[in-house]
Amino acid sequence: MLTSMRRLKRRRVGTTLAPRDKDLDRGRVVQFFRDFHLFSGGHLKVWDYFEHVASSSEFVPVIRFTPDSVFDGTNPWRRSSLVDVGSRPIEPGVLFVAGMDWTVVPDARRSPIPVINLVQHVRHADPNEELYSFLTNRAVRICGDPAIEEALRATGKANGPLLTIQIATDLECFTDDVERDIDVLIVAIKQPEIGRSIDAALPDYRRTLLTEPVRRDDFVRLLRRAKVTVCLPNATEGAYLPPLEAMASGSIAICPEHIGNSYSRDAVNAFRPAYTVEAIAAATIAALSAEHSALIDAGFRTVRDLSLASERRRFLDVLEKVDDLYA
């Protein structure tokens, strides 16, 4: 989840440990890039892929941040010794980019070094978005949801292979057993006004409304405490994590219909009402008014299928074949 930095100490990249020679000699370097100011689901997923590379015996991840990036308590790389601070030349064997990272990739249009592009949103296929202009850059593109691959394929612009590895979440962080003393957790950081309206429509229930970012560990604990989690995405997404995290926590996920998020199936592992306050409130009341153990069990099965271990295996298989795929 997103995390507020107003209360957190800000630290610049230059104070971070630099990669050691013995680390760089361990395998072929995969170079990551990030512009980090506020923790987001997008950063979390890039961190997951960084960790996937770190688990390999053949590759080593190194990450370079923009000069004004922040290393606060929410930056998962804050203690990593694999942050490139430019103290010595590093020769990457693979480039890994996501989102706007393309703007700092050398010779981005046709890099001589294989490029892996993690695509986390269908807006990459929107001609009105700057992200769309990067589609003609050669890359092996990994889409976080089938809807993303479908959207990119429809443009006819994607230069290079298109693959889907559905987003996964970390089951281990949801293992603590806590009392479910929240009836409804409303995750409205992307849609605060809608969230307030839903909150007002449920006066008889114990509610927690999130309209601003919170620390990730606090968010995970809120999920564990909530009987029902209402997730309010944008109208278009691609790799929207909160419903999957709600399933992992054992909370009933309610996520209204939107473009993307193909892992949520209405009345199977989640509720997918129309995107109106009335429909979402009605689905929430229905979820709290009956027993839904079969739906919760189906959510657990979904999360197990979309585990980080599975995501890691699939990605490392791609990484091992990256030269042939890129060619």
Let me know if residue 6 belongs to a domain.
no
Task: Note the pLDDT of residue 41.
Answer: 82
Q: Are residues 125 and 245 in the same domain?
A: no
Average pLDDT over residues 47-52: 96
- What's the CATH number where 72 sits? 3.40.50.2000
Query: pLDDT band at residue 87, thresholds of 50, 70 and 90?
Result: low
Predicted confidence (pLDDT) per residue in 233-248, tens digit: 998 887 788 999 999 9
Is residue 224 in some structural domain? yes
For the chain, the maximum distance between any two Cα atoms, rounded to a whole number of angstroms, is 61
Q: Is the pLDDT of residue 66 over 50?
A: yes
The percentage of the chain sitting over the pLDDT mark of 70, rounded to a whole number, equals: 91
For residue 9, the model assigns a pLDDT of: 38
Distance CA 256, CA 276 (A): 8
Based on the domain organization, do 147 and 178 belong to the same domain?
no
Residue 8: inside a domain, yes or no? no
Predicted pLDDT of residue 6: 31
Please give the pLDDT value at position 25: 63
Asked if residue 280 and residue 178 are part of one domain, the reply reads yes
| Partners of 274 in the β-ladder | none
Query: pLDDT averaged over the chain?
Result: 89
Are 207 and 320 in a shared domain?
Answer: no
234 and 163 in one domain?
A: no
Q: How confident is the model at residue 20 (pLDDT cuts 50, 70, 90)?
A: low
User: Residue 88 domain-assigned?
Assistant: yes
Q: Are residues 244 and 138 in the same domain?
A: no
- Residues 114-154: tens digit of each pLDDT: 999 999 999 999 999 999 999 999 999 999 999 999 999 99
Both 132 and 256 in one domain: the answer is no
What is the predicted pLDDT for the residue at 22?
A: 57
Higher local confidence (pLDDT), 85 or 165: 165
**Residue 113 scores a pLDDT above 70:** yes
**Least confident span in 109-118, 190-199, 200-209:** 109-118
- Please report whether residue 3 resides in a domain: no
* pLDDT given for residue 89 in this prediction: 74
Residues 6+ apart with CB under 8 A from 43: 34, 36, 76
Considering the domain architecture, whether residues 162 and 176 belong to the same structural domain is answered as no
**Residue 7 domain-assigned?**
no
Nearest to 266 by CA among 285, 283, 282, 248: 283
Q: What average pLDDT does range 35-51 have in this prediction?
A: 91
316 and 296 in a common domain: no
Lowest mean pLDDT, pick from 6-10, 163-167, 253-257? 6-10
33-37, 77-81, 301-305: which range is least confident on average? 77-81
Domain assignment present for residue 4? The answer is no
d(CA 181, CA 175) in angstroms, rounded, equals 17
Residues 190 and 299 in one domain: yes
Neighbour-count burial of 91, counting CB atoms closer than 10 A to its CB (0-12 exposed, 13-18 middle, 19+ buried): exposed
**Which region among 71-75, 105-109, 311-315 has the lowest average model confidence (pLDDT)?**
105-109
First-to-last alpha carbon distance for the chain, in angstroms, is 36
pLDDT tens, residue by residue, 272-305: 999 999 999 999 999 999 999 999 999 999 999 9
* Total domains, the chain: 2
The answer to whether residue 3 scores a pLDDT higher than 50 is no
* pLDDT value at 2 more than 90: no
SS3 168: coil
Instruction: Confirm whether 235 is domain-assigned.
Output: yes
pTM for the full model? Answer: 0.84
Pair (199, 117) in one structural domain: no
- What is the band of 201 on the pLDDT scale with cuts at 50, 70, 90? very high
Q: Which helix (H) or strand (E) segment is 252 a member of? A: strand 252-254
Please check the confidence at residue 13 and state whether its pLDDT lies above 80.
no
Q: What is the 3-state secondary structure (H, E, C) of 199-226?
A: HHCCCCCCEEEECCCCCHHHHHHHHHHE
Is the same domain home to 133 and 225? no
Domain hosting residue 129, numbered range:
13-168+308-326
Does 17 score more than 60 pLDDT? no
pLDDT score at 110: 83
